[in-house]
Each structure stands twice: as structure tokens, then as C-alpha cells.
Structure 1
Amino acid sequence: MNIIFISSNTERARKLTLTRSRIILLLGVFSAIVVIAALGLNFISLRYADKIDAPLLRAILVNPQEEKHQKIQAHLQENLNIMASKLGHMQAQLIRLDALGERLVESSGIKSRDFLFKEAPGQGGPKSSLDLLADELTVGEFDDMLQELSTMLDERADKLGALDSLLRYGRVTKFVLPSEMPVETDWYSSGFGYRVDPFTGKKAFHEGVDFAAKTGTPIKAAASGVVIYSDRHSEYGNMVEIDHGDDLVSRYAHASKRIVKLGEVVLQGQKIAEVGSTGRSTGPHLHFEIRHKDKPQNPAKFLKKPG
């Protein structure tokens, strides 16, 4: 390629021949100038950004850097907000788990210091020589750790919740199982099973147990439940029946006085009637039955003092 230069001051023309090597050289020099200029502008914008007074130059040099910096800061702030939200959720979970753990320890009777939920567990150990080679945690790694810890907390909460339900069920079962003595005595005047009927003199099956006691002696509920019968019966006299759930019913007969009413909720140990001799009875006593699905059960299997 030939380039001819003509000047008005001289009649002589100059010719420049561009070979392939010269073109490549010129392009290389031009590229180097552009790169050096860009690096120089970037250096000036970073080092002297706060000292540039020219509005146009400041807009050219500073604004792109500020915009990039603002984007980075916004991205970091967004990540921090997400992690702060996760951290707050985990703190709430820990508070709930601490309360649940303390309740479980209290209900189970554990006295060990291993279960002091309000105190942080002790940790420690010598500084490892490998610490110098360890890399700092990145935001992504820290977020992954938070997520993993949150999942572990959810699993622990589910398991502790299930354990709490089981313990609660055990405590509730204790109070709805007819195990308390209905009257203050340690013996039966007539046991459960076949006996000689005091009225007919024949062998007959006795579906409960009899507790001899003075008229007016308090009759107490053997367990908590709902009163499903409180009325006069032709054979049982004044009778009270309490439903304890799971088709389990306790029956109190021959009372002189009924205190509870139909549909009333009673607690274990609550006074529900008084001993008497009403109905088919030879004298003051309490006839006590436990029935499951309307079939008589031996009260000795339930009561704490079987006689």
C-alpha cells in the first residue's frame, strides 16, 4: 500500500509505502497506547477521584467506579439481609427449643448439668498449626452453613416435639387411668369374681369389689373423666358412672348421696358421692366397678391398693 503526501508549500510529493509488517507495527503501537491510556485513567479515577473538580471529567472517570461499587455494596447488603433473616429465624428456634427442653427435663425429673439449656456448653482446645493454611469463609459457604444448621434445628424441634407429646400423653394417661382408691380403706369386703350371693345363697359372679365403710364416707373419682350417669338405679341404688376415654368406665353404686351431675367433668380424687346402702345392699358400702367396652374388669389390676 502506497500513501502519497502533497504539500502546497513544495512541489515535491512524498510517498510512504505501508508494508504488512509496518501495518502490524502501527496497530500494535496504537493498541499499546489505548491500553496505557485506559490503565492511566483507571488509576487516576481510583487514586484521585475525590480531588477531581471538573464535572465532565469526574462524570467520565468517577461515576462508573461508583456505580460498580454501589452494585457490589447492594449485592452484599442483600446477602446480609437474607442471612440476618435466617439468623433471626434460628434464634427463635433456639428459644423455643430451650423452653421445650427445660419443660422436658422438668417433667422427666432429670437433674444432670448436661441439660442446663440456659447455659452455653463449654468448648475449647489448642490452636492448630493448620489454621494458617485455612481459607476464610466465603459468603456462599457461610450461607450454606446457616442453611444446614437451620435444617438441623428443624429436625431437632420435630423430635423434641414428638417426645414432649409422648411424655404429655403419659402424664395424661396417669390421670385418666382409674388407679386411685375411691374410698379410704385398704381391704375389700367382697372381691371380684364368683361368690355366694348374699340374697339368694347361690353362686353368682360379682362384677366389682365392695368396700365396707360408714354411711357418709366420701366417695372419690378413681380417675379424671366425664360423668355419664348420675341417677337412681333399681339394683345399684344411687349410682355414678364416669367415662375415662378409650371405652373405660368406672362405676360407683349404693351411695347415700350423689354430688356430681350428668355431663360434669371431674378430676382424679374429686368427691363425687357419699357411701350408703341404697338399692340391692345388705349394709353401708361402696360397690366399685371398672368396665372396658361394657365388660367387667378386675379393679385390683388398676387400683394402687388392691387390698
Structure 2
Amino acid sequence: MNIILISSRSAQAKKIVLTKVHLTLFAGVLLMAVLSMALGLNFLSLRYADRIDAPFLKALLVNPQEKRHQKIQSQLHDNLNMMATKLGQMQAQLMRLDALGVQLLESSGLELEDFMLDQPPGQGGAYEDLHADVVSMDELDRKLHELSMMLDERTDKLGAMEVLFRSERLSQRVLPTVMPVETDWYSSGFGFRFDPFTGKRAFHEGVDFAAKIGTPIHAAAGGVVVYSDRHSVYGKMVEIDHGDDILSRYAHASRLHVEVGQVVTQGQKIAEVGSTGRSTGPHLHFEIRHKDVPQNPSRFLKKPG
């Protein structure tokens, strides 16, 4: 490249010849100057930004740094809010787990003090510094997510266990297992016997409990009263439907204390012992029937003792 310089003071023109080497050196010097200026401005913005009084320079140097700082602070604030929300949800899950644990312990009959659900478990041991790296925000968020998933899984499992416990307790309450009268022996058992009136061999569909007139008769299990009236053979009688086609029958009573359609609970007084109907003396005739087929009550009843 040729550069011709013309001056009014000199009649002869001057010529400067620039080669590629000259142009490359010039471009390098210009680039270094720009980089130096940028580094200098960055240094001034970091070190002397708070001392600059000129509004234009202060806006030019400080605003980019403040914007970056504000952006970082905003992201950090959002992450902290998100983690605080997760921690609140996990705390609520732990409270539900504690409540479920208490209910399960109460159902199982274990002592609550043995488990101390409201206190952290005992921990200890020697301290060993492994110089672990600081946990990053992403790793902490991942750990919180994993812990939240574990809490959800534990909640579901404990909830299923609670349903099973409740179902088992409910089934125990609707099975006729409680003795209907306070006595330790049968005056007549279940199965074939000699009929007390005819003396002939006949099948006895229940068991007889000898007791004094007026002795309380209790429901062997909870259910709905489906019969409470006088019967031609059984005298004054109560029948209770316990569900699952299971029915209990209480016959020869002197007085009835429940009505048809009434819901009774296990152990509730429903009648009093008598000798009504086809009876030789004061006693309770007790039956358990499944799908209208008589069952041996001794398989169900739990005698006191």
C-alpha cells in the first residue's frame, strides 16, 4: 500500500510505502490498546466505582456490575424460596408421618414412649474431617428432591398399613367373639343331643348358657338388629346381622332392650335371660349362623379368664 503526502510548503510529494508487515503490526497495536482500555475500565469499575462522582462514568462503569450482581442475587433468592417451600412441604409430611405412627402404635398396643416419635433418634460417634467439598445448590436441590420422594413413599406405605390395621380391628369387632353372658360353661353344647322334651336324638344348632332370670345378655359383636320379637319356638329373641352373611341369635329372653334396625356395638346389653318359648328353665340359647348355616359358637367365642 502506497500513501502519498502532499504539502503546500513543499512542491515535491512524499510517498510512504506500507507493507503487510506494517499493517499487521498496526492492527496488533490497536487490538492491544482496546484490550488494555477494557481491562482498565473493568478494574476501575471494581475498585473505584464507589468513589466516582461523574454521573456518566458512574453509570457506564457501575451499572453493568450492579445488574450482574442483582441478577445473581435474584436467582439465589428464587432458589432459596423454592427450597424453603420444599422444606415446608417435607415438614408437613413428617407431621403426618408422626400422626400415622402414633395411630399405628395405638392400634398395635405398643407403648408410645418406647419409640419417642416427637424426638430425634440418638446419634453419636467420633468426628472425622474428610475435607468434603462444599455442597452446590444443584446437589442440595437434588438431595431435597430425593428426600421428598422417600417421604412420599413412606407416607403411602404407612397409610396402607393403617388401613390394614383398621380393617383388622373392624373385622374383629364385627365377629361374634364376646361371651353373650357372664358364665364359664355350657348347659348344652353344639351338635347332636337327646332332645329335653322328646328324648329323641336331635341336632342342637347352638349352645345353651344356664343363668338366672334377668342376667344381662350382651351382643357378641357389633351389627344391626334384624329381629327383636317373640318367636313360637325361641320365645323372646334377638337376631343381629354382623355383615358378611354372619348372624347371631339370642333366644328365650325375658326382656328385650333393642329394636329392629338399631345399630348395636360389641358388648352392648340387648336383652335379659329368661325361659320363654320352648324352654325347660332359665337359660340363653345362643347361635351363630353363616349364610343361614349354623356354626359352632365355641369356634368364635373367647371365654373370660
For residue 254 of structure 1, report the CA deviation from its aligned partner: 1.3
- Work out the CA distance in 1 between the residues paired with 2:100 and 2:93: 10
Q: 1:150 aligns with which of 148, 171, 181?
A: 148
Deviations along 1:207-251, whole A, 9 cap, x unmatched? 101111222111111111221221222222211111222221111
| Corresponding position: 1:41 with 2:41 | yes
Q: Is the 8 A contact 1:105 1:115 kept in 2?
A: no
Match of 1:185 in 2: 183
SS of equivalent to 1:303: coil
SS of equivalent to 2:105: helix
For residue 12 of structure 1, report the CA deviation from its aligned partner: 4.0
Q: 1:163 aligns with which of 161, 164, 171?
A: 161
Unpaired segments ≥5 residues, structure 1? none
- Work out the CA distance in 2 between the residues paired with 1:285 and 1:190: 10
Match of 1:242 in 2: 240
Following superposition of structure 1 onto structure 2, how do residues 93-172 of structure 1 map, counting pairs within 5 Å?
Answer: 93-111=93-111, 115-129=115-129, 131-132=130-131, 134-172=132-170
- Letter of the 2:73 partner, please give it: Q
SS of equivalent to 2:243: coil
For residue 87 of structure 1, report the CA deviation from its aligned partner: 0.7
- Work out the CA distance in 1 between the residues paired with 2:304 and 2:107: 28
Identity across the alignment (%): 68
SS of equivalent to 1:239: strand
- Work out the CA distance in 1 between the residues paired with 2:70 and 2:210: 90
- Letter of the 1:296 partner, please give it: P
Deviations along 1:58-108, whole A, 9 cap, x unmatched? 221111111111111111111111111111100111111122223323332
Q: Is the 8 A contact 2:105 2:112 kept in 1?
A: no
Q: 1:214 to 1:75 in 2, by over 3 A?
A: same
Match of 2:16 in 1: 16
- Work out the CA distance in 2 between the residues paired with 1:8 and 1:245: 124
- Work out the CA distance in 2 between the residues paired with 1:257 and 1:105: 41
Deviations along 1:242-297, whole A, 9 cap, x unmatched? 12222211111111111011111111111101111222222221110011121111
Q: 1:112 to 1:175 in 2, by over 3 A?
A: closer
Q: 1:11 to 1:226 in 2, by over 3 A?
A: farther
Match of 1:289 in 2: 287
Unpaired segments ≥5 residues, structure 2? none
- Work out the CA distance in 1 between the residues paired with 2:137 and 2:9: 70
Match of 1:230 in 2: 228
Q: 1:206 to 1:71 in 2, by over 3 A?
A: same
For residue 141 of structure 1, report the CA deviation from its aligned partner: 0.3
SS of equivalent to 2:255: strand
- Letter of the 2:52 partner, please give it: I
Match of 1:62 in 2: 62
Match of 1:52 in 2: 52
- Letter of the 2:294 partner, please give it: P
- Work out the CA distance in 2 between the residues paired with 1:282 and 1:114: 55
Q: Aligned Cα RMSD in Å?
A: 1.9
Q: Is the 8 A contact 2:102 2:112 kept in 1?
A: no
TM-score by length of 1: 0.93
For residue 306 of structure 1, report the CA deviation from its aligned partner: 9.2
**Range that drifts further, 210-219 or 3-12:** 3-12
SS of equivalent to 1:244: strand
